[in-house]
């Protein structure tokens, strides 16, 4: 089911730097490509969700168990970093770009890349630096001017929308917490 809000910033949106790139397409991706991309994105978002989880430092476990969990967590984080380094060697990560990201689309400052209104493409971005796999978002350009490019996402699949909504909520919540601390 396609979702089309008409705006990119409906609901929660996050403004942050993400390693990302825009790759133009000659025509919109067909239904089979959209399904395959949705499956890839769902797997990637599941991994990113797991990587963003943390266990409680206190509470239901005793001190020895907490220490053991912390030690295992450190080892796991080391493995993730090593895998991330291998992935970066295999395929380089795009440059960081300030991006406004919502469930329905994204926007960024216009640059020298020629992007036409109504054109199609992929917004590819990395959501977790320790796992630098690209989230691939099929999109259509809805606004272009000298200052800003705005895109809306094509059909991402219901589960991808759900994971993206949860991820954006977490980013937003962390941003609010950092703002309150400063």
The secondary element (H helix, E strand) that includes residue 48 is helix 31-52
| Residues in the chain where the model's pLDDT stays below 70 | 1-10, 54-61, 77-78, 80, 84-85, 87-89, 112
CA distance 50 to 16: 21
Measured in whole angstroms, the distance separating CA 42 from the mean position of its chain's CA atoms is 11
pLDDT at residue 3 in the model: 44
CA distance 44 to 136: 10
CA distance 163 to 170: 11
Q: Which SS3 state, helix, strand or coil, does residue 60 take?
A: coil
pLDDT at residue 56 in the model: 58
Homologous superfamily (CATH) for 13-53+93-181: predicted glycosyltransferase like domains (2.40.10.220)
Q: What is the DSSP letter of 88?
A: H
Query: b vs e for 29-62, b when ≥16 Cβ sit within 10 Å of the residue's Cβ?
Result: beeeebeebbeebbebbeebeebeeeeeeeeeee
């Amino acid at each position: 089911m396609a979702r089309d809000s008409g705006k990119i910033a409906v609901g929660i949106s996050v403004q942050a730097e993400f390693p990302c790139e825009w790759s133009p397409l000659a025509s919109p991706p067909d239904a089979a490509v959209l399904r395959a991309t949705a499956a890839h994105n769902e797997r990637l978002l599941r991994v990113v969700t797991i990587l963003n989880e943390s266990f409680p430092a206190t509470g239901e476990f005793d001190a020895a168990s907490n220490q053991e969990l912390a030690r295992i967590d450190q080892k796991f984080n080391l493995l993730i970093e090593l895998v991330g380094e291998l992935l970066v060697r295999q395929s380089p990560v795009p440059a960081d770009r300030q991006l406004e990201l919502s469930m329905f689309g994204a926007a960024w400052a216009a640059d020298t890349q020629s992007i036409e209104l109504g054109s199609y493409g992929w917004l590819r971005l990395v959501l977790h630096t320790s796992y630098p796999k690209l989230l691939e978002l099929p999109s259509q350009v809805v606004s272009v001017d000298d200052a800003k490019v705005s895109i809306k996402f094509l059909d991402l699949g219901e589960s991808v929308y759900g994971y993206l909504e949860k991820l954006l909520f977490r980013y937003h919540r962390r941003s609010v917490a950092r703002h309150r601390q400063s």
